[in-house]
A and B are shown apart, each in its own frame.
Chain A
Amino acid sequence: MTARLMVHQINAALNELMAEDERIYVIGEDVLDPYGGAFKVTKGLSTRFPQRVLTTPISEAVIVGAATGMALRGLRPVCEIMFGDFLGLAFDQILNHATKYPLMYAQNVPCPITIRTPMGGRRGYGPTHSQSLEKYFVGIPGLEVTALHRFQPVQPFYRRALLDGDGPSLIIENKMMYGQTPLAHLKDGYDDFQLRRHGRDVVEAELSLTGFAHEDLTLITYGGMSDLCLSAAKQALIDFEISANVIILGNLSPLPLDVLTAACERTGRVLVVEEGTRAWGVGSEIVAQLTPRLWSRLKAAPARVACEAPVLPNSQALENEFLPSVADILQQMRALVTA
C-alpha cells in the first residue's frame, strides 16, 4: 500500500514498528483482514502478523483492561478504540488501572499501553459517533495525550508512544484527517504560510502568513479544527488585515507551554479553537495555564471557540451549523483585535 493518505501512513508506521519489535500487539474490534478496522488503519497487519493482531468482542473496557495487564507483564499493546465516543466504556480502566499502577505502586512499574482512537465530526455520524471527547482524558494524571496532525511526521509520532515511553498514552486521530494527504514532507512552507515545527518526535506546527512577525494574535488548535484555523487566518489577513500565527498542537497533555508562551508573547492575544464542547474544555485549561505566563503581555482576555451544541445533530446541515466554523473563528479574531 502506498502511503498516499494519512490513514496509509499510520498503517505504514504500525507495520514498521510491529516488524521491528515483537512486543507490539494490536488489539481492538474488527481489526482483522479483510476488514482491517472500521477506518482501515489496521488493514494488512493481521495478514503479516497473524499472532499479534487480536480482534476482540465488543468490549472496550476489557480491550484496555487486558492491554494494561499485557503491558504490566512486558508487552507493548496498542488498543484501537473504534470510535473515540466508545472510550467512555473504558474510562475506568484508563483512570483507575492503566495510569494508576505506575503511580500508586511508586516503584517504576512500566505500563506502556497505547490507545489510538478517532475523534471528531463532519461526517454526519450523529450524537454518539462524532464527538471530540479528549477533554475528559487530558486531566488524567499519568496519561500522555497527543493529537496527530498533517504536519506531524507520522512514524516518529507512533514510535514514541509505542516503543519509547514506559507509560500509558492516548493518541487522538481525527476522522476527517484519515482521508487527507500528509504534509510532513513540507519543510518550511505550506500554501501561502511559512511553516516551522517545534519539538522532536511529537511536534507542534506553527504557521504564519507574515514571516512569524507583526502578528496580531495567536490561534491555538489541534485535530479537526486545524484546517479551519488556517482558512480563517488567511481570510482574516485578506479581508480584515488581521495577521495571525497558528499553532497546531501535537501534545495535548502535558501541554507544550514553552512553545505556546513564545508564540503568544509576540502577539499578546490568544484564541484557542477546539471542536469539543466549550465548558471545562481543552481550551479552558490552555487558557488557564498560559494566562499567568503571559499576564504582563496580554492585550486582551484570551478567548475560545468551541462547539456550542450540547449534542451533535445527525443532519449534516445541522452539524455544520453547530460545529465551530471559519466564520466563528473570524468573528472571535476580530473581537479580540478590537477589544
Chain B
Amino acid sequence: MDRTETFYRKLSLIRRFETHLLEQFSWGKLSGTTHTCIGQEANAVGLTAHMTGDDVVFSNHRCHGHYLALTDDVAGLLAELMGREQGVCHGWGGSQHLHRDGFYSNGIQGGIVANAVGAALAEKTKNSGAVTTVFLGDGTLGEGIVYEAMNLAALWALPVLFVIEHNGYAQSTPTAMQLAGEVAARPRAFGIETHCLASNDTDAVYAAATPLFDGLRSDGKPRCFVSFTYRLGPHSKGDDTRDPAEIEAKRADDPVLSYRRKLPEDVATRIDAANQQRLVEIVARLEQSAPAGSQHP
C-alpha cells in the first residue's frame, strides 16, 4: 500500500472510530466521557508516520487519534472505552489514560510535558536514539509546568518534539480570551526551533515534520511543531457552544474528506469499506464480551 493509501486508511479509521463513539454515547451505550479529535486527524497520522518502534509518545485527553495512528490497536482502545477486560488498560484507564509500549496518555493538562522531558532524558542516557513526542493544545499553554518543561528540554538539549495542536479553543474558551502573545513565541523564547503549519493536509503535516524529526535524530535538541487546526466535533460529547456557521465553514477543510479526494474513488471506497468492516467486527465481538473484572491493579 502506498503512503497515500496508508494515510487515508488511518484517517478514515480514526474518523469512523470516533464517530462510532459519539453515537454510542448519544445512545447511552457508552458511559463516562470522551474527547474526540474529529477535524484534527491529520496531525495524528502525519506525525506518527515518522515514529519508529523505540520512540515515545505522551498524549493528552484527546488521544484516540494519536493512539490509533501509532498502534492501530482498535480493539484494545474500544474495549477500554467499553470497560472490558480486553481493554488496553483493562477498563481502568478509559478514554484518556492509555498505555501501550512507548505510548502514555493522561487526562491532566500540562503535566505530561514534564514527563516527556524526563522520558527523553532517559532515552538520551540509554543512547536509544528515540524521539519523545508530546502532544499539547493551545489550552494547555495556560499551565505553568509547560514552561518549566520547555526550559529544561532546551537547557539540557533533550530530544523532545513538542506538538501544539492549536485548535482555537481551550474547551469552550476562544484563544483570544485565554492566551496573550504568540503561541510560537513561547517555545522560541527558550531557543527551541519551532515550525508552524496552518494545514489540515496529512501530506503537508508529514512534510513539515520531516526536518523536525531529522533534526531531532541528528542533534538531539528539542523542536516544536505548532499546528493550526480545528476541532470539528465538540470538546467532549454534546458540549459545543460555538457558532454553527463557524463550524460549517471549517468543514470545507475537513482533513479526512479532503484527503479522500487524493485517491481514486474506487480505492477510497475500498478502504472505507475495509475500515467499516473491521470496526463492525470488533464491535460485535466486544459486545459479547464480559465487563472488566476487579483483579486490577
Contacts and interface: CB of A to CB of B under 8 A. Distances in A.
A17 interface: no
B199 interface: no
B125 A75 contact: yes
A65 B126 contact: no
A245 interface: no
A65 B122 contact: no
B149 A107 contact: no
Contact of A74 (B98, B116, B120, B126): B126
Interface string B75-96: 0000000000000011111000
A303 to B, nearest CB: 37
Interface in A45-103: 51, 54, 56-57, 59, 61-62, 64-75, 77, 92-93, 96-97, 100-103
A62 B106 contact: no
Nearest to B121: A70
Given A66-B118, A103-B297, A107-B99, A72 B148 contact: no
Contacts of B116: 69
A266 to B, nearest CB: 37
B148 A73 contact: no
Contacts of B296: 106-107
Contacts of B274: none
Given A62-B152, A74-B122, A105-B99, A97 B115 contact: yes
A195 B28 CA distance: 63
A143 to B, nearest CB: 14
B64 interface: no
Given A92-B108, A97-B106, A65 B149 contact: yes
Contacts of B145: 61-62, 65, 92-93
Contacts of B89: 104-107
Nearest to A59: B148
B118 to A, nearest CB: 3
B104 A56 contact: no
A73 B89 CA distance: 18
A70 B122 contact: yes
B56 A73 contact: yes
Nearest to B99: A105
B210 interface: no
Given A57-B152, A93-B111, A97-B108, A106 B90 contact: yes
A5 interface: no
Interface residues of B, number: 39
A205 B156 CA distance: 43
B108 A101 contact: no
A69 B119 contact: yes
A133 B56 CA distance: 35
B151 interface: yes
Nearest to A109: B99
A199 to B, nearest CB: 25
Contacts of A59: 148, 151-152
- Among A71, A93, A104, max chain B CB count under 10 A is at A104
Contact of A70 (B108, B118, B148, B155): B118
A70 B149 contact: no
Contacts of A77: 118
Interface of B: 56, 58, 89-93, 97-99, 104, 106, 108, 111-123, 125-126, 132, 144-145, 148-149, 151-152, 155-156, 296-297
23 contacts: A61-B148, A65-B117, A65-B118, A66-B115, A66-B152, A69-B58, A69-B114, A69-B118, A70-B119, A72-B122, A73-B126, A77-B118, A92-B108, A93-B111, A93-B145, A96-B111, A100-B97, A101-B106, A104-B93, A105-B89, A105-B93, A106-B90, A106-B296
Closest 3 CB pairs of A and B: A65-B114, A69-B118, A66-B118
